[in-house]
Amino acid sequence: MDTYQIIQEDQIEVLLEEGKKASKAEVMEIIEKSRDCYGLSLEEAAILLQIEDDEVLSHMFDAARYIKEKIYGNRIVIFAPLYTSNECTNNCLYCGFRVANKQLHRRTLGVEEIVHEAQAIEKQGHKRILMVCGEDHRKTHVQHIVDAVKAVYQGADIRRINVNAAPMPVEDFKKLKEAGIGTFQIFQETYHRETYKKMHPSGSKADYDYRLTAIERALEAGIDDFGIGVLLGLYDYRFDVLATLMHAQYMDERYSVGPHTISIPRLRPALDSALSETPYPVSDQDFRKIVAVYRLTVPYTGIILSTREKAELRDELLNLGVSQISAGSKTNPGGYEEDDREATQFETSDERSLDEMLQVICEQGHLPSFCTACYRANRTGAAFMELAKDAHIHEFCQPNAILTFKENLVHFGSEETKAKGEQMIDQELEKIDNDKVKKETQERLKRIEKGERDLYF
């Protein structure tokens, strides 16, 4: 497939121009229609991306909250990143790991060190890891990732490892699949070719097309959960968000599998970054708009938010449609055991521990989930989407969130978190409509109290 057909820049520009012409009544109609949870077209998304009126925006935010609640309930999935290396042969202008940064303390963790990191993450109470890899083929080649994934599954009670790594050939993706990774995540950074070229002046990442087609090779290798996104701030967010949706639509139409997740990283200051300022700043209000447009357009795709964002905004975005967040994160290899700020990729903004985060999530009426069941019960890719679209996924998610949160509280919760968490669990149990499932969940909760682990539907 001609990659210019996957992301049609001219078409995106036309849609965005047309989007400006919509009347307030037309915009409101699209927002109302989105509440059916069937998703929206690219034309409609382009119109929503052009909203500037605060009153109309607040209607869109209400719709995003409604859809989030209807599809995901009040669950929030929690994970932690694990950086395996900060050695990199690329020179992405915005990243602290770029090869030209001579100030960075470089380090690639050995397999044993990676397992120690995973154990430190596990001690916080996590069950899901996102393994984030540098891009130096001599150090962080596929075998390094494969060995790390296998060793962590064996050496720590981590139940799902997602991977964020450089694009690779199908044979290498097959090795990742065989090692048992969950989602393969890769960000195009910007879909705007000219900007992409400027931001990635050298190294293998300079190849836009090879990166764009990575998820198709992953799919060919049998990895049907893939995550995409752009680095917000590199180019006009309207263009890049619409392009992300175009990429998602292309995958859905051609392979019948849309992205499992879309991430929304926003550019952060990085040690020795080559960018003196953010080229296209994204305000907090723009950021809320982006989350809402994704939620309305692709309601069944998870939205991932990281600790790049400050605490108050993160709390707010949970209501607008974010379905997964990281907590207690470190962005330097080895950071969970010893913190070296001269080795981090970028500055994180939300430094709260997982335990603190869990309290805030409960206080805001959300149910933290450490569930990893779908992947292990083969509910992935198209099978997952089918269940999600019929809203059946809710029947698994709710009890699984309750059970996994309970397990976290029993083993890791502080007294304060336990008190708030137990209250939340009681409240959530009442929401299970199916009496049989409710009863079974109550029984399993008792078993977890007695020390049993890893119970799920």
Residues that bind ligand SF4 (CB under 6 A): 88, 90, 92, 95, 97-98, 134-135, 205
Residue 241 binds ligand SAM (CB under 6 A): no
Closest by alpha carbon to 271, among 108, 101, 93?
101
Q: Are 230 and 190 in contact (CB under 8 A)?
A: yes
For residue 215, the minimal CB distance to ligand SAM (Å) is 12
Q: With respect to ligand SF4, which residue has the nearer C-beta, 44 or 135?
A: 135
Q: Which does 47 bind (CB under 5 to 8 A by kind): ligand SF4, ligand SAM, none?
A: none
Q: Which does 308 bind (CB under 5 to 8 A by kind): ligand SAM, ligand SF4, none?
A: ligand SAM
Find the binding residues for ligand SAM in span 24-63 (CB under 6 A). Answer: none
Residue 129 binds ligand SAM (CB under 6 A): no
Residue 346 binds ligand SAM (CB under 6 A): yes
In this structure, the strands spanning 367-369 and 75-83 are parallel
C-alpha 85/C-alpha 113 separation (Å) is 11
Q: Which does 270 bind (CB under 5 to 8 A by kind): ligand SAM, ligand SF4, none?
A: ligand SAM
Q: Which does 226 bind (CB under 5 to 8 A by kind): ligand SAM, ligand SF4, none?
A: none
C-alpha 19/C-alpha 27 separation (Å) is 9
Candidates 46-54, 91-99, 119-127, 389-397; binding stretch for ligand SAM (CB under 6 A): 91-99
Under DSSP, the state recorded for 91 is -
Among residues 71, 82, 156, 165, the one that binds ligand SAM under rule CB under 6 A: 165
Question: What is the residue-wise DSSP string for 110-147?
Answer: -HHHHHHHHHHHHHHT--EEEEE--B-TTTS-HHHHHH
Residue 345 binds ligand SAM (CB under 6 A): yes
C-alpha 368/C-alpha 333 separation (Å) is 26
Residue 95 binds ligand SAM (CB under 6 A): yes
Q: Are 288 and 58 in contact (CB under 8 A)?
A: no
Q: Which does 98 bind (CB under 5 to 8 A by kind): ligand SF4, ligand SAM, none?
A: ligand SF4
What's the start-to-end Cα distance of the chain, in Å? 40
Q: Which does 174 bind (CB under 5 to 8 A by kind): ligand SAM, ligand SF4, none?
A: none
Cα dist. 307→80, 96, 230, 264, 314 in Å? 10, 16, 16, 11, 8
C-alpha 187/C-alpha 231 separation (Å) is 7
Q: Which residues, other chains included, contact 246 with Cβ-Cβ below 8 Å and sequence gap of 6+?
A: 6, 7, 8, 11, 12, 42, 191
Q: With respect to ligand SF4, which residue has the nearer C-beta, 97 or 191?
A: 97
Q: With respect to ligand SAM, which residue has the nearer C-beta, 188 or 404?
A: 188
Q: With respect to ligand SAM, which residue has the nearer C-beta, 344 or 408?
A: 344
Residue 144 binds ligand SAM (CB under 6 A): no
Q: Which residues, other chains included, contact 332 with Cβ-Cβ below 8 Å and sequence gap of 6+?
A: 83, 86, 107, 339, 340, 341, 343, 344, 345
Give the count of residues interacting with ligand SAM (CB under 6 A): 21
For residue 115, the minimal CB distance to ligand SAM (Å) is 20
Q: Which residues, other chains included, contact 17 with Cβ-Cβ below 8 Å and sequence gap of 6+?
A: none
Q: Please write down the HEC assignment for all residues of 236-296.
A: CHHHHHHHHHHHHHHHHHHHCCCCCEEECCECCCCCCCCCCCCCCCCCHHHHHHHHHHHHH
Q: Are 116 and 149 in contact (CB under 8 A)?
A: no
Q: With respect to ligand SF4, which residue has the nearer C-beta, 207 or 338?
A: 207
C-alpha 188/C-alpha 169 separation (Å) is 17
For residue 414, the minimal CB distance to ligand SAM (Å) is 30
Candidates 159-167, 362-370, 383-391, 392-400; binding stretch for ligand SAM (CB under 6 A): 159-167
Q: Which does 397 bind (CB under 5 to 8 A by kind): ligand SF4, ligand SAM, none?
A: none
Q: Are 131 and 153 in contact (CB under 8 A)?
A: no
Q: Which does 136 bind (CB under 5 to 8 A by kind): ligand SF4, ligand SAM, none?
A: none
Q: Which does 444 bind (CB under 5 to 8 A by kind): ligand SAM, ligand SF4, none?
A: none
Find the binding residues for ligand SAM in span 308-327 (CB under 6 A). Answer: 308
Among residues 187, 210, 412, 457, the one that binds ligand SAM under rule CB under 6 A: 187
For residue 150, the minimal CB distance to ligand SF4 (Å) is 23
Residue 94 binds ligand SAM (CB under 6 A): yes
Candidates 30-38, 68-76, 260-268, 384-392; binding stretch for ligand SAM (CB under 6 A): 260-268
Which stretches of the chain bind ligand SAM, using CB under 6 A?
94-95, 97, 132-135, 164-166, 186-187, 189, 231, 265, 267-268, 270, 308, 345-346
